[in-house]
Structures are given as structure tokens and as C-alpha cells.
Structure 1
Amino acid sequence: MRKAFKLENLDCANCAAKMEAGISQLSGVNKATISFMTSKLVIDAEADDAEAFAAIIDAAQQVCTSYEKDCLIKR
């Protein structure tokens, strides 16, 4: 399953790169990309249903806030 999300309050390109690397290492994630210019997060994950994908997004949110406390993934 592949989905795109808008990131709010993404202020640092270096932090975006660290977030991308951290999210890519999450269990069940095949690949994650973040575009700093468009504040867009794309996650390609092995999740088969919406509930499993939601768990991955929750974990991705924790990664994001570990680098930028105000950064939010808009669902």
C-alpha cells in the first residue's frame, strides 16, 4: 500500500532527511520519501489493511516529532 501525506510545520531540510531515513527503517515500511519543498511524505508499506497502515503512520509521527516537535502528519 502506498499513500501520500502533507507534513505541517516542517521547517528544516536536514530534519526532513533524518525523518525520511528513520521512517524508512520502521518495520513494515518498504520505502519512505519526504520532499522538503512540497512538505510531502510518501510511504510505501507492506500493510494489507487500513488498520495496519494506521499503526505505521503512528510510528512515523513519533519519528517526525523526535526531530521537529511541531511537525504533524496530516491524515
Structure 2
Amino acid sequence: MGEWIVGKGGRAQRASADDLALGVAVARAQGGDEAAFLVLYRLAHPGLLGYLRGTVDESAEDVAAAAWREIARELP
């Protein structure tokens, strides 16, 4: 059974295992855990890249790389 979280529009929704893993990975990565940053990247990058391919098309990889640089810099 999943944990309940607040979703879009303030409605409760069940959190998936990936959602929970992402939250744990972010918290641990903020503390400097490099393995957790890898988990964060593996969970978030496919969705980020898919979104960027739909919005910026040819430069999606470059924009994603810039986003990850900023994420890594601002995460702590």
C-alpha cells in the first residue's frame, strides 16, 4: 500500500515507489551522498529529457546537461 501525498490541485494521491525513492535520493544527495545523486539522476533524467525533447527538440541534450549542472550546484 502506498503512502498518500498531496498531488496536483491539492488532491491526495498515492505516491509510487519511484516517488518515494526520489524523495529519499534527493534528501541523501543534499547531504553529499554521490550514490544517491546517481539514483536521483536515473529516476529523473528520462522524464526531464522526454519533456525537453517535446519542448526544445534538437537542443534537448544540451539543455538537460545544463539543468543537471545547475541541479548539482544548487542541490546542497
Ranked by relative contact order (alpha carbons within 8 Å, sequence separation 6 or more), the top structure is: 1
Which TM-score applies when normalising by structure 1?
Answer: 0.32
Structure holding more helix per residue? 2
Which TM-score applies when normalising by structure 2?
Answer: 0.32
Structure holding more strand per residue? 1
